[in-house]
Structure 1
Amino acid sequence: MKLVNILVTIALSLGMASAATAQQQMQAPPQGDQVDQLDQLLDLDENQQQEIRRLLDEAQSQMAPKEQEVQALQARLGEHVGPDFDEAAIRQDASRLGELTGELTAESVLLQSRVEAVFTEEQRERLEQEIAQQQQQMRDLQDQMQQQGGQPPAQ
């Protein structure tokens, strides 16, 4: 289960558009930046960098048209709202949106798996440690915010 969390975090750190990010219409950062970030963290060799860039380019070319269709469907669904709605059209568009979301999610998981396969065992362990540190920092920050929120303001 830890590996699943790691892979999800990798996808987020790579900025790849998953189904959720596609629905939010977020833009992925340039792929060179993604590979550079991984390189700084994991000390990738040149072959690893090239392979990851290839994987990212391939995934982006497969996902971009689907992301555009998701955006178009979301806009069209918004246009269906009103007193003279067409239930069949809404259901058809929503069904297609669900299919696309599933396809984007599958592509995202496949990309995560393919990128993870490029790493050495040592790099995977280093990444797992880094992710664990970041998660602990987030928990600490959340705890700190909760503690501050429960106290009356200083006078």
Structure 2
Amino acid sequence: MQLTKLFAPAVAALVFSVPAMAQQMGGGGMGGGAPSVDDQINQLDEMLDLDDGQKEELNDLLTQMQDENSAKQQEARELQLQLGEHIQPDYDEAAIRADAERLGDLTAEMTADSIIMQSQIEDVFTQEQRDQLDEAMAQRQKQMEQMQEQMQQQGG
């Protein structure tokens, strides 16, 4: 059961991490931007041997998620910039609080959407596939912990 709790962050990491990194690099550069939904599905297919129906369901879910998150991520970036612009001697406390509240609401919406989407994605997989993914994520978690330990040892 504990491994199942690793599933949600793992899928989130898989779905969000590479597009986020690509956006941070300006959306261009090597590879031409964020990976396509097809690339993400292919990565899951390699791990879990998905059938055609699963691929189609995942395609629909991931496309929907990317469309919804794109606008919300853009709004969050704009709010963060606006908040930064409020830093000045003659600040407007009401505007700061309003922007901060909207950013908090937006973050909450994105978190809820992510968890709902992850649950919908998990529902696409068979129990065997969930078990395979749990195992892979547990191994990845262990590797990350080992890397952190090595970095701490090297740094101090």
* TM band (smaller chain): 0.7 to 0.9
Please say if 1:76 is aligned against 2:77.
no
Helix, strand or coil: the match of 1:139? helix
Please say which of residues 2-11 and 127-136 is displaced more in the overlay: 2-11
Residues 1:89 and 2:79 are matched in the alignment: no
Tell me whether 1:66 sits opposite 2:72 in the alignment.
yes
Question: CA separation in 2, counterparts of 1:149 and 1:73?
Answer: 36
List gaps (5 residues or longer) in structure 2: 28-33
Structure 1 distance, partners of 2:40, 2:134, is 17
1:6 aligns with 2:12: no
Counterpart of 2:60 in structure 1 is 54
Post-superposition shift, 1:90? 0.3
1:67 to partner: Cα distance: 1.5
Moved more, 68-77 or 84-93: 68-77
Identical aligned pairs, as a percentage? Answer: 48
> What is the aligned partner in structure 1 of residue 133 from structure 2?
127
CA–CA distance in 2 between the matches of 1:68 and 1:148? 38
Encode CA deviations 1:77-131: one digit per residue, 9 max, x unaligned.
Answer: 1111100100000000000110000000011111111001000000000001111
- CA 1:145–1:63 in structure 2 vs 1: closer, same or farther (change >3 Å)? closer
In structure 1, what is the equivalent of residue 121 of structure 2?
A: 115
- Quote the residue 1:30 is aligned against: 36
TM-score (norm 2): 0.83
Offset of residue 145 of structure 1: 3.2
Any gaps of 5 or more consecutive residues in structure 1?
A: 151-155
* Alpha-carbon contact 2:6-2:134 (below 8 Å) kept: no
Structure 1 stretch displaced more, 8-17 or 110-119: 8-17
State the AA in 1 paired with 2:116: L
In structure 2, C-alpha distance between the alignment counterparts of 1:16 and 1:112, rounded to whole Å: 14
Q: CA deviation at 1:138?
A: 1.8
User: TM-score, structure 1 length as denominator?
Assistant: 0.84
* 8 A Cα contact 1:38 1:44, kept in partner: yes
Which structure has the greater CA radius of gyration? 1
RMSD of aligned residue pairs (Cα, Å): 2.0
- Mapped to 2, the partners of 1:95 and 1:147 lie a distance apart of 40
Q: Following TM superposition, by how much is the alpha carbon of 1:140 offset from its aligned partner in structure 2, in angstroms?
A: 2.2
Matched with 1:101 is 107
**Structure 1 residue 72: deviation in Å?**
1.2
Residue pair 1:16, 1:108 contacting (<8 A) in 2 also = no
Q: Which moved more, 1:112-121 or 1:52-61?
A: 52-61
